[in-house]
Amino acid sequence: MSQLLCISSIFLLFAASEAVFTQSAGVKGVLMCGDKPLANTKVKLYDDDTGPDLDDLLAEGTTDSLGQFLLTGHTSEVMTIDPKLNIYHDCDDGIKPCQRRVTFNIPKSFVSSGENPKTFFNIGTINMQIEFESESRDSLDDPRAQCRNGGIYAGGICHCIKGQTGDHCEHFECVKGLSVGFRFDPESLLFNEPCICESGWKGEMCDYQPAEKCGNKGEWKKDRCECVGSYFGSECQYTSRCIEGFLRNGRCICNDGFEGDYCDKIICVYGSPDFKNRTLACNCPDKFAGRRCEQCKKHGPLIEPFPHCELDPNS
């Protein structure tokens, strides 16, 4: 009887091992942030396990300079695997210490037997500015770690990533303000910004004054620059007007002898600009002439060349 039970147990174990089979999946796509490729963005391919088991990581990588990625991986399971793609990114996310995490479930029809997938699930080109209903935040911060917010501990100290500071990288590098540190929470009513700015300063890092944001080319109203004249742009940094020059990429490239945002200011070689008559010309001293006083008023064999413009003493 005991021999029969032993044989039966071996048979059941063999049958169970045969029921586990290798499966694979692959996914590819292109990630954008607006009109720019979302390069160096972390992507992971998982088998989504239900119950207490952790998800199986099948593959991971990053997007290339064009925002492209391709992942392939395999695992062994009794049932058909449930592959999913996780994307971790910071597109339109400011300096928040947690990354946006978006998950795409891959249809089971793209699951193949064996270690190499026969077909790839193509998610196409996706603009990650979109706020997906199912997206969450993936924190790089471990409260038990020696260094917080993605910092690295080496040589007995914490080396913080850009935007963080403190002995444990727990604070933000506020230029003109106070870091809220561990209390920062985008969902908080009180600490939903990383810095508490001093009076007259704005920005996530309190790094600009609204009064100076637009320079002398506009006025800061309702969190934006209202530009004057022919200026435009987020900081009124571009112009659509050019007097003595030509426009290129919103800038006025001046001809020789002119300057200013509109190239509307003359540079006099001698003399001074004719402000009284509002002409783009210069008021020249007696011996000079020309629009910019760049030539002699008198000419002849006995007159020294520019810029002397006087009677040759040796003549």
What is the per-residue pLDDT across 155-174, written as a single tens digit (0 to 9) for each?
888 888 888 899 888 899 99
Examine the pLDDT at 244 and tell me if it is beyond 60.
yes
Residue 97's region, left for phi above 0, alpha for psi from -120 to 50, else beta, is alpha
The secondary element (H helix, E strand) that includes residue 210 is helix 210-213
Q: Say which residue the tokens 């890092």 belong to.
A: 205
Q: Is the pLDDT of residue 26 over 90?
A: yes
Looking at the structure of the chain, the number of domains it has is 1
Evaluate if pTM is beyond 0.75: no
pLDDT of residue 277: 85
* pLDDT score of 273: 94
Q: How confident is the model at residue 309 (pLDDT cuts 50, 70, 90)?
A: very high
Percent of the chain with pLDDT over 90: 49
Position 16 scores a pLDDT of 46
pLDDT top residue among 19 and 281? 281
Q: Pick the closest to residue 31 from 126, 164, 146 (CA basis).
A: 126
pLDDT at 12 over 60: no
pLDDT reported for residue 58: 92
Which pLDDT score, from 0 to 100, does residue 242 have?
94
The domain that contains 28 carries what CATH number? 2.60.40.3330
Contact 107, 117 (CB under 8 A): no
Query: What pLDDT digit, counting tens, does each position of 31-62 carry?
Result: 999 999 999 898 999 998 765 556 788 999 99
Q: Please compute the mean of the pLDDT values over residues 110-120 and round it to a whole number.
A: 93
Structure tokens at 12: 């059941």
Beta bridge pairs of residue 153: 158
Closest CA to 126 of 28, 26, 39, 29: 29
Residue 253 has pLDDT above 50, yes or no: yes
At residue 9, φ and ψ (nearest 5 deg) are -65, -45
Decide if pLDDT at 11 tops 50. Answer: no
Q: Is the pLDDT of residue 297 over 60?
A: yes
Question: What range does the domain containing 113 cover?
Answer: 19-139
Mean pLDDT value across residues 217-236: 87
CA distance 265 to 199: 37
Rounded CA separation 198/305 (Å): 61
Quick check: helix, strand or coil at residue 49? coil
Token representation of residue 164: 């963080």
Could you give the 3-state DSSP secondary structure of residue 279?
coil
Average pLDDT of 209-220?
Answer: 82
Examine residue 233 and state whether it is found in any structural domain, yes or no: no
Sign, Cα dihedral of 258, 260, 266, 267? negative
109 falls within a domain: yes
Label residue 201 by pLDDT band (50, 70, 90): confident
pLDDT band, residue 2 (cuts 50/70/90): low
CA distances to 124, 134, 184 from 187, in Å: 32, 17, 9
In a domain, 92, yes or no: yes
Judged against a pLDDT cut of 70, whether residue 98 lies above it is answered with no
Residue 26 domain flag: yes
Cβ 98 vs Cβ 110: under 8 Å: no
Tell me how many degrees the CA angle 29-32-38 measures, rounded to the nearest 5.
95
Comparison of pLDDT for 187 and 129, the residue scoring more: 129
- Assigned domain for 206 exists: no
Q: Are 283 and 272 in contact (CB under 8 A)?
A: yes
How much of the chain, in percent, has pLDDT values that exceed 70?
Answer: 87
* Contact criterion met (CB below 8 Å) for 166 and 149: no
Is 17 a residue whose pLDDT tops 80?
no
